[in-house]
Amino acid sequence: MNPAQKIVINIDEQFPQLSQAPVIEAVLDIRAHASQPFEEETLRQALEPRLAGFRFLDSHREFQHEVRIAAGSNPEQCVRDLGWKGLRFQSEDQKKIVQFNRDGFVASRLEPYPVWTTFAEEGFDLWRIFCDIARPVEINRLGLRYINRIELPLDDPKLGDYVKHPPQPPEGLNLPYMGFMHHETFAVPGHAYAINFIRTIQPADPDTGRGPGLILDIDVFTTMGVILPTDELARCFAEMRWLKNKLFFGTITERTLENLR
């Protein structure tokens, strides 16, 4: 690989406004261990009065399903309870989900996506509540993830109509696609960020009547831990949003852009 030039991030750059934004979930994920006792019952009592417009959704335990096969013995199937992780709350309109976990905080916004400032400010307000209760000492990872879903026609969609560099069948063997999953991870030279970029097709869902969708999942994250006041956090997320936008608008075709405007 060649040495790469530093990327100049311009958080003031303006991007096209999309009235039909294809964001089906936007996520602020801040991984920071609680330094204070973080127990299920007391946490719920502390959170409920502070989360106006939200109601308790569930207590998050982690399970793992496993089948082990050893020579000379029967397969052993087990479900492991990995313990309690945290609590989830959901807004009354079911569009926002917030997680208060022992190892950090996650704010999700489901479709329809509002403007960035609304999404970010709501997320930071909830983050402050997490900080008051959990008192994290250090942030280990920031993540800003946008999952976009662009509706495709049922019969033989031409992916090149939607994205600039669609997957291509092997030259000389024009096979039709049954599916694809592209996962790229980009470094951001000069900055402690990286980007996971996943492109895939979500098949049609007969239960919901939803047709197939082209998924563009852009996840910008930090690559080293930070100790940050909230205003610095806002600047980091603004930079990560710029990277996300550059990737998104650099990927879709003019035609898609026009359809989303």
Partner 1 sequence: MSFAMTFPATRYASALTVSSRASSETSRFISQKSEEGLRLLKSSLTFGCLGKKTDDELWLQFMECREANWDGHGAEPVAEETYQFAAQFLKALPLGAPNPGLGAEADGHLTMEWYRSPHRTLSASISPEGELHYAALIGGSKAYGTEPFFGEIPEAIMNLIHRVMAR
Q: Can you give the binding site for partner 1, defined by CB under 8 A?
A: 1-6, 24-25, 27, 29, 31, 33, 64, 68, 80, 82-83, 88, 97, 99, 103, 106, 108, 110, 140-141, 143-145, 147, 149, 181, 183, 185, 187, 189-190, 194, 196, 198, 200, 202, 213, 215, 217, 219, 221, 223-225
Query: Residue 187: is it exposed, middle or buried by C-beta count within 10 angstroms (0-12/13-18/19+)?
Result: middle
Rounded to 10 degrees, the C-alpha dihedral 132/105/186/228 comes to: 0
Q: And the tokens for 227?
A: 């100790």
> Based on CB atoms, which residue is closest to partner 1, 45 or 181?
181
Shortest separation between residue 16's beta carbon and partner 1, angstroms: 23
C-alpha triplet 121, 91, 124: angle, nearest 5° = 20
> Based on CB atoms, which residue is closest to partner 1, 157 or 199?
199
Shortest separation between residue 41's beta carbon and partner 1, angstroms: 21
**Residue 67 bridge partners (DSSP):** 77
> Based on CB atoms, which residue is closest to partner 1, 44 or 85?
85
Cα(88)–Cα(71) distance, rounded to whole angstroms?
A: 42
**Residue 88 bridge partners (DSSP):** 58, 99
CA distances from 99 to 30, 107, 142 (A): 10, 6, 15
Asked if residue 125 lies in contact with residue 28, where contact means CB atoms within 8 angstroms, the answer is no
Please state whether beta strands 181-187 and 193-202 pair in parallel, antiparallel, or not at all (unpaired).
antiparallel
Shortest separation between residue 189's beta carbon and partner 1, angstroms: 4
Shortest separation between residue 137's beta carbon and partner 1, angstroms: 11
> Based on CB atoms, which residue is closest to partner 1, 95 or 246?
95
Cα(90)–Cα(57) distance, rounded to whole angstroms?
A: 6
Shortest separation between residue 7's beta carbon and partner 1, angstroms: 10
> Based on CB atoms, which residue is closest to partner 1, 9 or 187?
187
> Based on CB atoms, which residue is closest to partner 1, 16 or 137?
137
